[in-house]
Amino acid sequence: MKLVFAGTPEVAVPALDALLASERHEVAAVVTRPDAPAGRGRRLVASPVAERAEEAGIEVLKPAKPKDPEFLERLREIGPDCCPVVAYGALLPRVALDVPAHGWVNLHFSLLPAWRGAAPVQHAIMAGDEITGASTFLIEEGLDSGPVYGTVTEEIRPTDTSGDLLTRLAFAGAGLLAATMDGIEDGTLKAVPQPAEGVSLAPKVNVEDAHIDWSAPALRVDRMVRGCTPAPGAWTTFRGERLKLIQVTPAPDRTDLAPGQISAGKNNVYVGTGSYAVELLWVQAQGKKPMRAADWARGVRITEGERLGG
């Protein structure tokens, strides 16, 4: 089939690579979000998908909105049979969805209908799920509600951050998306409607959502930190300033600390929660680089009874 691939961040690049490597399909063009300011200089930078497409010598389309007439005209000129999508980042209007004969097929990083929305991997970790995966589905105008072509499953490991898990799913999902294109092309794959039961939503996780509540149980704190790493970054406050929490681990043997209370030894830093404590492993103070929690604690000279979170 002739394909137009739509995607933006680094997590979409493995899927693009898988389709570029396919001998059965031609990636005629890539659709991605416009260049965005990045870094200290806030200079405009192309998306990772755009950079990969340019390396491969593929036409790159960067519409401000997918309903832009110039974009729709060019899409019709290319005449794709199907448009595979991975984390494109913009809603596709009906007029765009109708262009390819086989529609737009999205790779979504959950086992639909679970965790529909922008942050499925983060929510799966924060909810304590043990299994997740990726799904390919035909895009409709509803939120991740279209019929499903295929799935792959992935275990959520006890120390997984959302970054760890998303990286594994990006590569597993790339193979799934390529196989889905093969099945659509040869007519062996049919999309199956999602069940009405088991729907859950995964809206974008913002900075305020990542504020740690020390009255929550230790397992909840651990899941929040892992789910919010690397972005938006779990955080608390210490002496009125934000402290980013990069890595913690449950410490069930420490039940002597009140929620938020800090106990700092030579090599360990513990913080009380609503159940037992967690050990802080890596933190990042405001304006500083990431560091081991024990080094941070020695530097700030924690006094007895001090707390995180005010």
191: nearest Cα among 231, 151, 248, 131: 151
- d(CA 53, CA 8) in angstroms, rounded, equals 11
C-alpha separations of 30 from 58, 111, 167 in Å: 7, 26, 21
Binning the chain into helix, strand and coil, the percentages to the nearest 5 are 30, 30, 45
- d(CA 207, CA 242) in angstroms, rounded, equals 12
Dig out the tokens for 149 from the structure. Answer: 């072509």
263 is in an annotated binding site: no
Q: What DSSP line would sit under 87-118, residue for residue?
A: S--SPPPHHHHTSSTT-EEEEESS-TTTTBSS
111 is in an annotated binding site: yes
Instruction: Classify 231 as helix, strand or coil.
Output: coil
> Quick one: residue 115, left, alpha or beta (phi over 0 = left, psi -120 to 50 = alpha)?
left
112 is in an annotated binding site: yes
252 is in an annotated binding site: no
Question: Is the alpha carbon torsion for 166, 90, 144, 114 positive or negative?
Answer: positive
Dig out the tokens for 5 from the structure. Answer: 């691939």
**Which residues line the annotated binding site for (6S)-5,6,7,8-tetrahydrofolate?**
110-113
**Which residues line the annotated binding site?**
110-113
